[in-house]
Amino acid sequence: MFSDLIVHAEDSDGSFLLIEAAEYLPPWLNPDNAENRVLIYQNDIHIITPELVDLEDSLEICDAVKLVFHNSEKTCGCIEIQNAIKRKLTEYPQKIKDNMHMAIVSLPVEIAAILKLRPSIISAIVNSYCNLDALEAKNCRNIEYTNCVSTQIQITKYLYAMLMHTRLIKNVTHNIPETDKKAQLGFKLTCGYYVIMNQYVKDIFSSSEYKKYISNLSKTGYFKDNIEGSKDYKMLLEKAKSYFCSMECPLNTHIFNEISHLKSDKLFEETKEALIQCDDSKLYEDDDDWLNISPDELNNILISKYGKCTTINNEDLDSAQNITSALTNFLKKSSDFEGIERIGEDVEDNKIDFDAEQFTMCVEKLLNIATSNVEIELSEDSEDDDDNDEICQEIEKELSSKLCSVPNSVDNKTVINNLVQSMKEEGLSGPSSNVLKTIDIRKTDLLDSDDDD
């Protein structure tokens, strides 16, 4: 609609648009260096490359906008990135309506009026309740849950599911039946509301959170042994305050101010009166059966999003050999702190011969050495080579005797069976499935949740 508009979109996860195109991003791009480098211009995603601005250099948003405007051909992302993101966007705006849920809840008339006047506040209230800490939960046990009215609220399905599946605070003074869904939801929302209203402190630098924040900075050496009140100390303190102001719950402060403004408006009292006189029989709510999903429906959703996986037959020794070969290839690689980066490699083009029997023997040998009861003492002061030779011979004899007991019946099928069993025992994720991901084999390729065989 606006051909000259350049948009910068971020949330708490950073450049969230790139999540949809993760498989097609250039190797240099990661969450640590994506700040201010991803923008939207003329219906395309634009990425400022290291050729335009070095990754070591800081990039201000104003400079980023100018770079995209004057170098749009160079910054425009590849067609795969564009298509991946636009596929997600084709579901909108209809998906916004599909993702909404209408519910009837029992709320104190004050909160009901606020949500009627400003429905968007529901998001902050739900998140406040679902993220209660122990102290906040304790304070919510005695809140006032009276003078309630039934009212409709429109909420996203995601927030509704969060609210439904977050447990009700225990030991509350109000006896709310488990069968009364309206009251259960209403009480949770009431708790979230009062948490927001009680969290607000006009002077955030006198709050307990700020005092704890400064204390933690002191313990970790942030102030570099500077004396409190000194010039350097004050400079570091100002930086810490600036960071605290930008990060410490600015949303709840904004919500508090908005609620306070609503309550001072004449329309607030009129809305309360209208809610009290409202006919409950005219209220309606959506069916929430969508919260329950069968295994077949889940499989269909996964297939539609990720495609149908071809399950590897455990009887197929060729497949087993490919996996053991790929694992061996993986183990021979070197890595840095970010792990092993696979660029332009094809597992099938890098086949190596792998002797599963020999591999198992090596593992057995290592285990037997580690658990051996033979104690060998080497004196650091000894310079007698003959003694050392004798010790080495004893070690060789011990290894030979141990290796004679190693079974010779290990095959590739056993390797696969062991991997499958490991993945079943480790749950959703663990060492086995993580290693297999690195060689381009997903857990679902080996393990079907509906078939234990």
Contact 37, 59 (CB under 8 A): yes
- Amino acid identity for residue 280 in this structure: D
Q: Which tokens go with 333?
A: 């690689």
Contact 154, 101 (CB under 8 A): yes
Backbone phi, psi, residue 78, to 5°: -65, 165
Q: Is the pLDDT at 300 greater than 50, yes or no?
A: yes
Q: Measuring CA to CA, how many Å separate 253 from each of 194, 332, 416, 441?
A: 13, 54, 55, 47
- Per-residue pLDDT at 19: 85
| Arithmetic mean of pLDDT, 238-242 | 85
Give 148-194 pLDDT, tens digit per residue: 999 999 999 999 999 999 988 877 777 788 888 999 999 999 999 98
Distance CA 369, CA 399 (A): 8
* Lowest mean per-residue pLDDT among 9-23, 69-83, 204-218, 402-416: 402-416
Contact 314, 420 (CB under 8 A): yes
Of 219 and 389, the one with more pLDDT = 219
DSSP string over 407-438: -S---HHHHHHHHHHHHHHHTTS-HHHHHHHH
- Per-residue pLDDT at 388: 63
Q: Is the pLDDT at 377 greater than 50, yes or no?
A: no
400 CB-near residues (< 8 Å, 6+ apart): none
pLDDT band at 118 (very low <50, low <70, confident <90, very high): very high
Q: Rounded mean pLDDT of the chain?
A: 79
Is 116 exposed, middle or buried, given 0-12, 13-18 or 19+ CB atoms closer than 10 A?
Answer: buried
C-alpha closest to that of 172 among 134, 195, 198, 141? 141
- Per-residue pLDDT at 20: 83
Residue with tokens 């040998």: 365
Distance CA 444, CA 143 (A): 48
Q: Which tokens go with 107?
A: 């709320």
Give 27-36 pLDDT, tens digit per residue: 899 888 888 9
- Percent of the chain beyond pLDDT 70? 70
**Residue 76's CB: how many other CB atoms inside 10 A?**
17
Of 297 and 13, the one with more pLDDT = 297
Distance CA 258, CA 118 (A): 9
Give 421-433 pLDDT, tens digit per residue: 776 666 556 676 6
Give 306-362 pLDDT, tens digit per residue: 666 655 555 554 566 677 777 777 776 777 666 666 544 544 455 556 666 777 777
- Per-residue pLDDT at 443: 63
First to last CA, the chain: 55
